[in-house]
Amino acid sequence: MQALGAFLAALLFGLGLIVSGMSNPAKVIGFLDLAGHWDPSLAFVMLGAIGVAAPAFAWARRRGHTLQGATITLPDTRQVDRRLILGSLLFGIGWGLAGICPGPALVLVGALNVKGILFAAAMLAGMLVFAQLQRKQAP
């Protein structure tokens, strides 16, 4: 039952990305192009997402478990460290160069978009490299 709930949530998220145009890399690059023909629509999508997510996270934090009974574990750290800054920089560089972030990448993979498939492959390779580095640093 949890897998079905996760699938439906992911499907709704993916459909939202498609309807809002955020799975289109050109739309994202248009938002990032402050010196050219700036497209503010991504900002409106983000504001809408925050408006929906903020009350949902507050509700989840108070509730402590999902509708299906699984425990909700939200991050509790607010520490800004080197790892967070470097990860944010890498994310931003990749997003700016490709116009794709992880959610839309999966939508593009599902649409058999070559650029999306290459981005997702590079993202997975980066995750594997990170996991290997973490294993080497573990005591």
Checking if the pLDDT of 65 tops 90, the result is no
Q: What is the mean pLDDT of residues 81-89?
A: 90
**What is the crossing angle of helices 114-137 and 102-110, to 10°?**
130
**71 strand-pairing partners:** 65
Contact 108, 119 (CB under 8 A): yes
Chain segment 95-134, per-residue pLDDT in tens: 888 889 888 999 999 999 999 999 999 999 999 998 998 8
* CA dist., res. 30 & res. 32, Å (int): 5
Structural domain boundaries in the chain:
2-137
Helix/strand/coil (H/E/C) assignment for every residue in 63-121: HCECCCCCECCCCCCCCCCHHHHHHHHHHHHHHHHHCCCHHHHHHHHHCCCHHHHHHHH
With a pLDDT cut of 90, the percent of the chain lying above it is: 37
Q: What is the mean pLDDT of residues 22-49?
A: 89
* CA dist., res. 48 & res. 65, Å (int): 25
Checking if the pLDDT of 2 tops 80, the result is no
What is the chain's mean pLDDT, rounded? Answer: 89
Give the per-residue pLDDT at 67. 80
